[in-house]
């Protein structure tokens, strides 16, 4: 069967769709350089003062720090828990694996607001409201499914005989997994970790229910700022987030080549 190549009209439509989806990003980037104190397109003059303003604002810096710590912590914990769960489910090491998989994937289906309200009620009942550790646990709940799904997808394409060969040659179970299986599924784990990190960084519905005044994250701060009126400072911090995301994706691609997975 010959390879089917996309026709020119389909390619043009796809290009127009991609361009349409990128217009909001372009608007945000352009408005962050405007000299005016309000959003305008095209920009009225060019300046970097809004970037300097947000990067020197202790409120923004604290929010950035909280968001990074929260996202990194939840992603690392999700990697450990998600990979362990995926391996056990893949090996059918526990009974009812399909039901457990569905349960762990449930946060992808349940609305984030529902999860936030449920977590708020629970931590209030146990007296842990306002704890940063609780916030990390809540983010792990919503990020584990991304790791689990990507790990299961990677493991499904794995030749188990490779790991078994390592064990026949004398490696114990953990050593065989660490030196043989883990490198083979690394692209999938990197992709899942990126999704988990981004999900944690941009989450508002769950965080806003559990974060205290001292635990304000960047998305919550942006959300609050937009409610009081949009200014180029919000566009500037959004532009920085876009640039940071692109850099992380490029580094991840260079390190793991996760395009093979996604």
Q: What pLDDT, in 10s, does the model give residues 70-91?
A: 999 999 999 999 888 888 888 7
In a domain, 39, yes or no: yes
Q: What is the pLDDT of residue 1?
A: 45
In a domain, 251, yes or no: yes
In a domain, 120, yes or no: yes
Q: Which of 23, 46, 19, 22 is nearest to 236 (CA)?
A: 46
Indicate which CATH number applies to the domain containing 174.
1.10.3720.10
Q: What is the pLDDT of residue 72?
A: 92
The CA-atom distances, in angstroms, between 233 and each of 57, 117, 186, 213, 230 are 10, 31, 38, 21, 8
**What's the total number of domains in the chain?**
1
Residue 116 belongs to domain spanning: 8-260
In a domain, 47, yes or no: yes
In a domain, 192, yes or no: yes
Q: Which residues contact 223 (CB under 8 A, 6 or more apart)?
A: 204, 208
In a domain, 3, yes or no: no
Which pair of tokens denotes residue 124? 């209030």
Q: What pLDDT, in 10s, does the model give residues 27-69?
A: 778 777 777 776 667 767 777 878 888 888 888 888 889 889 9
In a domain, 2, yes or no: no
Residue 106 DSSP symbol: G
In a domain, 25, yes or no: yes
């Amino acid at each position: 069967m010959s390879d089917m190549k996309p026709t020119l009209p389909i390619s043009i439509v796809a290009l127009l769709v991609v361009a349409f989806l990128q217009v909001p990003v372009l608007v945000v980037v352009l408005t962050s350089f405007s000299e005016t104190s309000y959003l305008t397109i095209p920009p009225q003059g060019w300046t970097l003062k809004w970037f300097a303003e947000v990067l020197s604002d202790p409120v923004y810096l604290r929010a950035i720090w909280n968001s990074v710590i929260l996202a990194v912590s939840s992603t690392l914990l999700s990697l450990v828990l998600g990979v362990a769960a995926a391996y056990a489910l893949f090996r059918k090491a526990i009974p009812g694996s399909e039901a457990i998989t569905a349960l762990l994937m449930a946060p992808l289906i349940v609305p984030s607001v529902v999860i936030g309200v449920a977590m708020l009620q629970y931590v209030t009942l146990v007296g842990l409201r306002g704890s940063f550790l609780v916030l990390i646990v809540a983010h792990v709940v919503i990020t584990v499914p991304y790791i689990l799904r990507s790990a299961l997808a990677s493991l499904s394409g794995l030749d188990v005989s490779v790991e078994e060969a390592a064990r026949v040659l004398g490696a114990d179970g953990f050593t065989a997994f660490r030196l043989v299986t883990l490198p083979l599924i690394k692209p999938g784990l990197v992709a899942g970790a990126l999704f988990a990190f981004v999900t944690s960084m941009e989450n508002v519905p769950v965080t806003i229910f559990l974060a205290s005044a001292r635990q304000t994250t960047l998305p919550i701060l942006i959300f609050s700022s937009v409610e009081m009126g949009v200014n180029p400072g919000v566009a500037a911090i959004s532009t920085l987030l876009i640039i940071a995301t692109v850099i992380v994706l490029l580094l991840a691609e260079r390190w793991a080549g996760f395009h093979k997975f996604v």
